[in-house]
Amino acid sequence: MEAPALEVRGLTRSFGRIAAITELDLTVQVGDVYGFLGPNGAGKTTAIRCMLGLIRRDAGTVRLFGESDITRARANVGAIVEVPAFHGWMSGTDNLRHAAAYAGIPSSKVESEIARVLDRVGLSQRAIDNAGTYSLGMKQRLGIARALLGGPRLLILDEPTNGLDPRGMAEMRDLIRSLARNEQITILISSHLLAEVQQVCNRVGILSAGRLQAEGEVQALLEQGRVGSLVDVSAEDMAKLEAIVEATEALSRVGDVTADRIRIRTTGTIPELNRTLVEGEIDVTALVPVTRNLEDVFLEVTT
């Protein structure tokens, strides 16, 4: 059986009396696009630094592709941790030459490797421009190009869409999907943007206050714990609608959506809900099924 790309067990790290990470367990399988989720300050970046051996662990183990010697195993890993930094007076190509030297890429392969990664992230046309002239999105892509030097098997991206505008976020999503699909790179994405992660990841782990609260396939987490369906309903007579909901065993009021719309949970089907309302002589003006998302899951497991 193939070893996981990343396996963390009991990872703990404190700064003085402040526990940043507490007994963290997570597993990223080969082929995953794994979302490492949590609000700002949840401990995601600290955990990533520990995983990469950039800071020490107080306790716990980390294995990369089955290897516990992180320094040796890191040859298979490319990463962006926090905001990627570059020499602004140097071109994108020269920044990558600098990184390639540190990465130990043979001199005979440096130029072809730089050309490959720049093309891969769509920066070939700006390769000779100074990095200081790049937009935030271009700097993020240059950071990924740097992380791709040497052909890593695992890519760790810490908040790759942070600060990007909608177009930049869409471009980053497309790039991540392409790297996973076309180059079979396993990817871990740290983010607090749950909707973004839901669009690209097949598995997620949800971190809060330094502890992993949930982990699993995205679809399984969306289905987990669901009892019945949620539906937003409006009617001509809202008081009459609320009375019907209160009197019907299969229905329960979850809350208000707007002044003239309430959210209902039904243990039956949506057509059955509609039939109940019609038979109760409710003039329904809107009946909208609610799609459960990662934000719903996150709020459930962290509150």
Residue segments in the chain with a per-residue pLDDT below the cut of 50: none
pLDDT of residue 296: 81
Regarding whether 233 and 217 lie in a shared domain, the answer is: no
Instruction: For residue 261, give its domain range.
Output: 229-302
Q: Would residue 136 count as lying in a domain?
A: yes
DSSP 268-298: S-HHHHHHHHHHTT--EEEEEEPPP-HHHHH
pLDDT of residue 227: 58
CATH for 143: 3.40.50.300
Among candidate residues 185, 205, 223, the one where a domain is terminated: 223
Q: Do the beta carbons of residue 40 and residue 192 sit within 8 Å?
A: yes
Question: Rounded CA gap, 268 and 251, in Å?
Answer: 8
Regarding whether 244 and 198 lie in a shared domain, the answer is: no
Regarding whether 240 and 200 lie in a shared domain, the answer is: no
Q: Would residue 1 count as lying in a domain?
A: no
Question: Could you tell me where the DSSP H helices lie in 184-280?
Answer: 194-200, 218-223, 238-247, 270-279
Q: For 195-231, how does the pLDDT look when each residue is reduced to its tens digit (9 = 90+)?
A: 889 999 999 999 998 999 999 999 888 877 555 678 8
**Assigned token pair, 119:** 């093309």
| DSSP-based three-state secondary structure for 7 | strand
pLDDT of residue 225: 59
Query: Residue 296 is which amino acid?
Result: D
Q: For 94-123, how does the pLDDT look when each residue is reduced to its tens digit (9 = 90+)?
A: 999 999 998 889 999 999 999 999 999 999
Q: Would residue 117 count as lying in a domain?
A: yes
